[in-house]
Structure 1
């Protein structure tokens, strides 16, 4: 099985790693992708930190690749990557990192909604636990 993970923060990567702990085996591979604008140093730093979590947390898997991609459209990037790596399943979280006071519990953000509508492969929305 090849899992494709879309991440935006350390919290989202950790949640997906927790999800994979009970499912993935040493025969599986994972590609973790973070998308950040090339001109946003803070977003790129956060994205790189999110990517750094995966190889450590998923070390027991067959292969773990991480990619920091330039761009403003994570949906298009993840869909293109899913095709390129022949992913079997796309793992995302319902929103980017921790919700703020304005985010209703159980809500799904616009990126997750767009991926659910457009993906031709199974999409798993992994909850991010309260920290």
Structure 2
């Protein structure tokens, strides 16, 4: 009997929800500007969610509300390895990619099995200054179905 590829591949899907909290530092050149963050999955290429604008004060920018992102992973059936899932975080003055300070990326496959909050300090790429985006990544418990 023939089994469709879709039926076989559904067994290897993992869906998870991650809580993300952001703040940026070393933004003195943007003092007084308001910045927003867009979340862009590499495989989609368009933002799936955005955080509202927040003002830069004393070279820092804090986004008070966390962002919850649902991510679907695929797993190699033979090895059990989770395939990479790259997401870009674009920090911008407006919703266009060209109004941006720049971006950082992380691979969420590294956090599928995490049991604690991970704190990352990532230098913003292509920025004209040494800005850093701090991201806390927390896997929401009970969100993975195998």
Both structures adopt the same fold (TM-score exceeding 0.5): no
* Structure having the larger proportion of residues in strand: 2
If you compute each CA radius of gyration, which structure gives the higher value, 1 or 2? 2
* Structure having the larger proportion of residues in helix: 1
Q: TM-score band, normalised by the shorter chain?
A: 0.3 to 0.5
